[in-house]
Structure 1
């Protein structure tokens, strides 16, 4: 903590004590703006004190108990242990942390003398079922609207005094929108293994409605703590908006955060001003930064004040001279472009909305401006993908390299092109939630095709996903409660997944390699994200036909996907 700026140290030991846990290493957790935001929000609440904990570094794994960063306090002594989970592949770490904290893994084996164990984050909002046996309750939705009501309910039901946990969980499920208590629901399965029903017990609601902040104007989401020991170094992060209008069919952010919401330029200007007092570099965060109204004006002002800027994402079709000047003036040496697919056909299938010309133009402008290196993101294993589509990745990279060389010669310096080749994992609440994931053998073959095609091209480097980890992510992302058995077995076998999948009686291929029917009841259907399932099915069919769809208009009068119809007063 000696290198941190902004650490919150509470001297008041009264009230609810919360251990906020990121189930990965410190540098990963502190790079996550959502984790930092929840830390600040809980500490701002009356009667609550929040400390942080992380997966211990490898050198610390023999420590007898996991403790918090602020006061070296054992997790078992807190009133609440709250996991912030962004990625499914961190699920095994949740079990490791609970065990190292000296707590029973199963929620059913923890009583009123144990902390309440809760979890939230994007991964949980998509589908929490793989963790349902280990978590007392999930907070599904956005923390700005969820946390105040959640902690009010805890205090009203005397949780800090060791009140009755069953009574507390019933009250949370009944009274707080966005709280999901797995013990209050019973799944029933058909003979073929598919879900027949998901039945609420007692007073639990039939569906759990995500909690959402209708407007972001009342909340500023930015770094609470700045430290060099993160992915971004000494960068002050500012969230410019939430959600994305473009509706890429593989991406959950374009659907679960509908409609996209942006903060005002004045609000962001104030946040950037606050950040400039602790850092010279400001990171603008959001799934659609380039769609922010007045973004160029905001950037120009920040540059005029001597600040450096970085962006979490910029679309190739949005890159122009103004944006590129911001990158160049901020000392950016590597710019990122995400074509995602090599062929125009595949980009129509995924509704990417950019063309090959957009990509080539962006690459040329970047290199001509003096930014020497380019990173390209592609996916393999997408629905309807053919061998020609995989070869098209190689062809597009070669075209980019040609543009790259031509633009670099004038500057007498040739940089590098880095390819990030990722395995497509179908996600809940997207139009591709029904599709079967590609097999490991097929994905390996496609990676080999791209590697061989690029092998002899100088200054091009390829980093490819490990297909096995993509399959595990898919299993945990689309599984029902039975996948909790697989997760616990993997924990018992110390993360040996090949052995786990051999020993488990649960068939992992049922969740990973099986195509679902449109009318199948899915394990995450009990979550109400506002989007009509029929809209996702319509988008799926448009994808199969290679038809694109327009961006989300974020208009209250629109009823196309159902979100605005459900949220309008």
Structure 2
């Protein structure tokens, strides 16, 4: 047997099934590391997909490792064989969220591996990284990673592994990879040249590597499904087979990086998804459809209808309020979902135009009423504060919209004779790279706190309504880590030295974090992530930003290869 599944029980997670165990002899050894806990890592479909892709290569053994739950742990070992990650040829980080950057340094320290790439040598494992956070902006962790793979993994992993030779001089091997493999980014081979005002003048490629690094993507998703390979109750999606329906989103919400970095939006064909669901149903009765806009899947109603009469519990990672048709509602009803989420994101019609949300207040109210009528008693509402051009009236309209939703919710609930609960979740807006809002400053933490207090006060007397919010100080750190350049690596190192005490770190830092967070960027400024070829025209994003400032909307991406509007389809 080349590989076996579930032959050995995991001592810590005995109910886990589907893990792959391989003999190490004669194989390249890869430790795939998620820089957070097992619970969060195994909830991530991308992490699981890369695990399967590596193990599909016969000459590779890939094992998983995570940040230990025990803060006093003095080693990082893999789940499958309980080897130290320092025993592997490659340590591959799968990074989805900037908030996990600090955990990378914790893992290095615990594993007794030098944090900085420049301090490692041929006796250490090669450290590579990929995932959404990396191909949005890898620069804040560039000092710690030997090599990034930017973009979707399927087109490149096999080629990358075929170029890897553990006996070869590391620098020469990385030069060869950076020159010949699209998507491979080696920070060491790019010098950042700064202007006097500390903005970036240019990226200077060294050793004949490409001036820009392509963001990799699969043009056609119809050849294979992306599904959970391992089931475990120790995740957010307990014993659920996750199935990716597509990548990207056509709606073009101006705050959302996923809507732009995954362009053009692509969906898997219905026949392939049906086969994935049938296969998943042989091992579990829980199926989770995953994507940035699951309700946009062509044929989603047919897919739901086909499986509504089977003993399956179907869930969806994202549903738009304007797409809750009878078939989707029937599926939610049959799977006994108790809570559904609606994301108005803004309270006023004006602000929803600014962010290009594309849903009306009437559609939001109708969605709330339809969900309750379909025996889904609880509703979560997501809003953002601190969006560009936001006014005091827009804050008041968040309160007013919540009250209107509550009234619609109550009217439908009374007919059922049962009243559920509304949860309002408030999040601070963080401007993200590769979006129309990448030029805008983040609102000051103090102002965000005032808005949270105002909204909380406006909703506190409403029965059956819970209110929660993020911590603006944490959002401030997220903005630093998502918008920073290589100098932010120094701040991360200080935060690690200070054991995660960000208040102390920011106070002591010689680098002013406000430079990255609170400053309006110049229209022609070179961003830390501009060396990545996302194929989307920067002028298109700038035009979208200017339209936002004028309260003007844009139509969704037509997903038509003849379209030249954003520039992506002209360059693939």
TM-score range, shorter chain: over 0.9
Q: Hey, what does 2:566 align to over in structure 1? A: 561
C-alpha RMSD over aligned residues: 0.8
Verify the 8 A CA contact 1:260 1:554 in the aligned structure 2.
yes
Question: Secondary structure at 2:134's aligned position in 1?
Answer: helix
Q: Hey, what does 1:487 align to over in structure 2? A: 492
Report Cα offsets for 1:236-281 as digits up to 9, x if no partner: 1000000000000000111011111000111001100110011101
Report Cα offsets for 1:302-361 as digits up to 9, x if no partner: 222221110000000001222111101011000110000000000000000000000000
Following superposition, the deviation at residue 14 of structure 1 comes to 2.0
- Which of residues 12, 30, 36 in structure 2 aligns to 1:24? 36
- Which of residues 213, 219, 244 in structure 1 aligns to 2:218? 213
Report Cα offsets for 1:373-422 as digits up to 9, x if no partner: 00011000100001111111100000000111111111111100001111
Q: Hey, what does 1:93 align to over in structure 2? A: 103
Decide which moves more: 298-307 or 132-141.
Answer: 298-307
Following superposition, the deviation at residue 64 of structure 1 comes to 2.5
Following superposition, the deviation at residue 296 of structure 1 comes to 1.0
TM-score, length basis structure 1: 0.98
Pair 1:102-2:112 in alignment: yes
Q: Distance in 2 between matches of 1:376 and 1:13?
A: 52
Q: Distance in 2 between matches of 1:211 and 1:153?
A: 17
Decide which moves more: 297-306 or 30-39.
Answer: 297-306
- Which of residues 386, 394, 397 in structure 2 aligns to 1:381? 386
Pair 1:34-2:46 in alignment: yes
Pair 1:69-2:79 in alignment: yes
Pair 1:278-2:290 in alignment: no
Q: Hey, what does 1:146 align to over in structure 2? A: 156
Question: Secondary structure at 1:52's aligned position in 2?
Answer: strand
Give the alignment of 1:181-330 within 5 angstroms: 181-330=186-335
Q: Hey, what does 1:542 align to over in structure 2? A: 547
Q: Distance in 2 between matches of 1:507 and 1:139?
A: 29
Question: Secondary structure at 1:335's aligned position in 2?
Answer: strand
Q: Distance in 1 between matches of 2:486 and 2:289?
A: 37
- Which of residues 125, 129, 137 in structure 2 aligns to 1:127? 137
Verify the 8 A CA contact 2:224 2:272 in the aligned structure 1.
no
Verify the 8 A CA contact 1:309 1:327 in the aligned structure 2.
yes
Question: Secondary structure at 1:172's aligned position in 2?
Answer: helix
Q: Distance in 2 between matches of 1:12 and 1:190?
A: 50
Q: Distance in 2 between matches of 1:278 and 1:368?
A: 32
Q: Hey, what does 1:517 align to over in structure 2? A: 522
Give the alignment of 1:443-454 within 5 angstroms: 443-454=448-459
Following superposition, the deviation at residue 557 of structure 1 comes to 0.5
Following superposition, the deviation at residue 153 of structure 1 comes to 1.2
Q: Hey, what does 1:365 align to over in structure 2? A: 370
Q: Hey, what does 2:7 align to over in structure 1? A: none
Q: Note the residue ranges of structure 2 that are not aligned, 5 or more in a row.
A: 1-9
Q: Distance in 1 between matches of 2:206 and 2:421?
A: 58
Stretches of 4+ moved more than 4 A in 1?
A: none
Q: What is the number of residues matched between the two proteins?
A: 560
Give the alignment of 1:401-420 within 5 angstroms: 401-420=406-425
Q: Hey, what does 1:82 align to over in structure 2? A: 92
Verify the 8 A CA contact 2:377 2:420 in the aligned structure 1.
yes
Q: Hey, what does 1:112 align to over in structure 2? A: 122
Report Cα offsets for 1:176-195 as digits up to 9, x if no partner: 10011000000111111111
Report Cα offsets for 1:416-464 as digits up to 9, x if no partner: 0001111110000000001000110010011001100001111111110
Following superposition, the deviation at residue 12 of structure 1 comes to 4.3
Decide which moves more: 63-72 or 483-492.
Answer: 63-72
Verify the 8 A CA contact 1:5 1:278 in the aligned structure 2.
no
Q: Distance in 2 between matches of 1:7 and 1:15?
A: 18
Q: Distance in 2 between matches of 1:62 and 1:14?
A: 34
Q: Hey, what does 1:7 align to over in structure 2? A: 19
Q: Distance in 2 between matches of 1:317 and 1:65?
A: 49
Q: Hey, what does 1:508 align to over in structure 2? A: 513
Verify the 8 A CA contact 1:209 1:527 in the aligned structure 2.
yes
Q: Distance in 2 between matches of 1:475 and 1:172?
A: 30
- Which of residues 34, 37, 55 in structure 2 aligns to 1:43? 55
Following superposition, the deviation at residue 148 of structure 1 comes to 1.2
